[in-house]
Amino acid sequence: MSSHPVEFHPSRSAVLAQVAQAAPQAWPLADIVALFNLPFNDLLFRAQQVHRENFDAQDIELATLMSIKTGGCPEDCGYCPQAARYDTGVVAQKILPLDEVLSAARMAKESGATRFCMGAAWREPKDRDLEHVEEMVREVKALGLETCATLGMLGEGQAQRLKDAGLDYYNHNLDTSPELYGDIITTRDYENRLDTLGRVRGAGIKVCSGGIIGMGESREQRAGLVAQLANMLPYPESVPVNNLVQVKGTPLYGTDPLDLFEFVRTIAVARITMPKARVRLSAGRREMGDAIQALCFLAGANSIFYGDKLLTTGNPDAEADRALLAKLGMHTRHTVSDARCDVTN
């Protein structure tokens, strides 16, 4: 597959057509590669200008991610310790009871999080599974939190059920560029990803979609991922950018680590090409250190996952995050207006 704007067969429903269109192409791949190739200071200066035009530059959104069903996934994503076929020490568990999820949501809110994300290691949820998630969404939303879910691929009607339950965001990452995708995952294809995003957008749920970098891709392939996201109409409201957390037992364990300045570049390019999106500094923060995280905020990241764990991998603890934000003079979203957050192209 190419990294041109996403195209759908004319026979597909209008719902899927809402995800992306062939024209006009807002961000040609060559233009995104050119951004990546700018001198580092020039790239960050441009990204910070775009950021300030659309957000309070000191504003950080705190989101908490909880695994509501861990392990046992039949997929073969090369980065994921929850795949049943890899020996990573992750023990498969059934879906959590509602009271345990609500307890975690209350704690997240008390700690300052404004969005609570629920993740389940499924290829796609069965209808009986969705009933449990719908109840969680309703109850978490009743606490005054934004709700997000990442449950794998969604079938016909499932996105609408989640919308009816009150779901605000659905996360379904593209992971990488179309050219590299088949080297990372073979149990589904890029079109499966796009189909789910089409159903989510068609149901009126906001889209959370980004990717993982540091999986051995080239700079042009990183640009290809950004091109796929930035040329969606509209582009995602939330764009999580993950740095690969290498887990022993997964196929990508032992991959040469990414230069962290390249990670900062990716944040900056995402900010420039998707100016009104929440660009989330996601997995891999614990390995970055304070200085690189500060550069990511300068490059336009304005959301972080908050808490000591992201599904099954470690994350900086809340106290460390609060100390870093205080050191940088930044404040969290729940203390400021978020009126400039709507996405338009």
Which of these is catalytic: 115, 188, 201, 208?
208
Is 77 considered catalytic here? yes
Is 341 considered catalytic here? no
End-to-end, the C-alpha distance of the chain in Å comes to: 25
Which of these is catalytic: 46, 80, 271, 341?
80
Three-class SS string for 108-175?
A: HHHCCCCEEEEEECCCCCCHHHHHHHHHHHHHHHHCCCEEEEECCCCCCCHHHHHHHHCCCEEECCCE
Measured between alpha carbons, how far is 139 from 137 in angstroms, rounded to an integer? 6
Exposure string of 70-99, with b = 16+ CB inside 10 Å and e = fewer, is bbebebbbbbbbbbeebebebeeeebbeee
In order, the DSSP letters of 269-320 are HHHHHSTTSEEEE-TTGGGTHHHHHHHHHHTT--EEE-SSEETTEE---HHH
Which of these is catalytic: 46, 148, 193, 278?
148
Which of these is catalytic: 115, 193, 265, 280?
280
Measured between alpha carbons, how far is 325 from 303 in angstroms, rounded to an integer? 12
HSE, side-chain direction, 13 A CA sphere, residue 213: 27
Is 296 considered catalytic here? no
In this structure, what token pair is assigned to residue 184?
């990372």
CA distances from 180 to 208, 224, 247 (A): 21, 10, 20
Catalytic residues: 73, 77, 80, 117, 148, 208, 280
